[in-house]
Structure 1
């Protein structure tokens, strides 16, 4: 039975090199000696390759630099909650399949684990400036959220709005606050909790880093996919449900939970990059 694909959006690659990588480690490449863009450019001398150093992993491929590149996915049910999760990720590269190459034989580029922090698809040079969780936000803004046993009491005292996430009522809080105001609100909540309860209320400040922005952009997408701009480039981020990750992908590479990335030809004879995650084997749990 043929796979049914849904559109996730598009990315662009003005540098001519596209990367699929682990969101939790994208910013670490530059700390390991060479920026991601330099490593990716060297890895694509033969069309594409897998990159790995320390805990950082990505696959880099050549891509058209003058057009949007469509990203699609097929899905399979999660063993965690039976909701659809990505089974095959397909990225159009906008380049013709080489005439001398056999279109029926996929070219394996390597494999990748599913990062519990998410995955990122974007231009290699654009991702050089990716901001991590603890970096300062370019727009000077942050989001504050609170939840827990005493959330209703805190709401009566401090207010805030319901922040809907992934089809559910999320925590209370405030979006798009100036950083100083966000810190002051969080400090008020924490002091109130410590004075009256000691525990029972969680408070978070999420600065508008690229890491937080892609997660926030996916709050209302059924597959947790968000589109943002990074380094002047259009980037897609994919966040995994943590329950699903703990069942399907736990242990990541150390546990052999890695999945193949290939170059293939689509129906029109153009190159696509595919990342294939097999459906969960329920029968295997009984063996």
Structure 2
């Protein structure tokens, strides 16, 4: 039997944990109202005596709220929902919120309503109420083609039962385990120190490095570290323009501002197990690569004989 390996520990002072695609946190609004001028949207509550039944049969999102409905489609969704309720005999309607619901409030509502997930612009988010008074270890079981599973432990009690609570879709090959309050302070893109790294690699990396005078770095890649962010950005544009030229050397470039995302991904890249932590607003946040790229991953809740949570497991490869 494979031995579990430690990926890291998460702390969750708020008691509300978020698990989602770690590459999508740029969209996270925290306590702020989501504000995307390019993609305006409306949030709805399903209301009425049959709200829960209507939500379950409508099968658009989990629970009695519909988040991030594109503004251009809002009227159509209201019409479709009305037709659905008439067809199924449900006494329920859609009521638009005056403003979109902040993502932190979505977590709070989902936990209180015992809803297993919600979405942020189509990205599934798993909210959990977890112990706030101690670190929560996250481990993984190695398999032949990647992790068999990733597990977060809540207690040492024996597992008496288990069930699947959702399927988590990941598009950036990484999970994030984060305190919901700490994400109010998360900076995904903008550098915290005004600096950025720029690295390049690929089939013709040596040719490209020689052409642009990029030194070899300690990790074997080529590039520049700790550049002023504007200088790094302009160099990145120059590299991209060169890549697009006919007959250009084949290489890739990565612009890495010194954000919280950069901090934790630096730890991930240096880790033997492709996982790392960073501290944000007093909470330890864990980023862990899936080991198999993108996909949909079943999430199971293990409970003890009293029905209390023991652990949460994410199936990765389906091996046993």
Q: TM-score, normalised by structure 1?
A: 0.72
Residue 131 (structure 1) aligns with: 187
Q: 1:202 aligns with which of 241, 252, 255?
A: 252
Residue 174 (structure 1) aligns with: 224
For the Cα contact (< 8 Å) 1:48–1:62, is it kept in 2?
no
For the Cα contact (< 8 Å) 1:225–1:238, is it kept in 2?
yes
For the Cα contact (< 8 Å) 1:25–1:55, is it kept in 2?
no
Residue aligned with 2:199, SS: strand
Residue 151 (structure 1) aligns with: 205
Residue ranges of structure 1 left out of the alignment (5+ in a row): 79-84, 282-287
2:97 equivalent to 1:61: no
CA distance in 2, matches of 1:212, 1:25: 13
Residue 276 (structure 1) aligns with: 315
Larger gyration radius, structure 1 or structure 2: 2
Shift of 1:145: 0.9
CA distance in 1, matches of 2:115, 2:161: 16
Residue 16 (structure 1) aligns with: 15
2:177 equivalent to 1:121: yes
CA distance in 1, matches of 2:144, 2:210: 39
Q: 1:238 aligns with which of 273, 281, 288?
A: 288
CA distance in 1, matches of 2:196, 2:283: 22
For the Cα contact (< 8 Å) 2:203–2:251, is it kept in 1?
yes
Taking a change above 3 Å as real, the CA distance of residues 6 and 160 of structure 1, as seen in their structure-2 partners, is same
Q: 2:137 aligns with which of 67, 70, 87?
A: 70
Taking a change above 3 Å as real, the CA distance of residues 148 and 41 of structure 1, as seen in their structure-2 partners, is same
Residue 28 (structure 1) aligns with: 27
CA distance in 2, matches of 1:192, 1:27: 28
> 1:30-49 residue pairs with structure 2 within 5 A?
30=29, 31=34, 32=68, 33-45=100-112, 49=116
For the Cα contact (< 8 Å) 2:154–2:309, is it kept in 1?
yes
CA distance in 2, matches of 1:196, 1:107: 54
For the Cα contact (< 8 Å) 1:141–1:207, is it kept in 2?
yes
**Aligned pair count?**
249
Q: What does the per-residue CA deviation read over 1:247-271, in whole Å, with 9 as the maximum and x for residues that have no partner?
A: xx5xx4xxxx4413314349xx872
For the Cα contact (< 8 Å) 1:262–1:275, is it kept in 2?
no
CA distance in 2, matches of 1:187, 1:29: 27
Q: What does the per-residue CA deviation read over 1:25-51, in whole Å, with 9 as the maximum and x for residues that have no partner?
A: 334353343333222222222667222
CA distance in 1, matches of 2:159, 2:234: 59
Shift of 1:144: 0.7
Shift of 1:138: 1.8
Larger CA deviation: 122-131 vs 188-197: 188-197
Residue 6 (structure 1) aligns with: 5
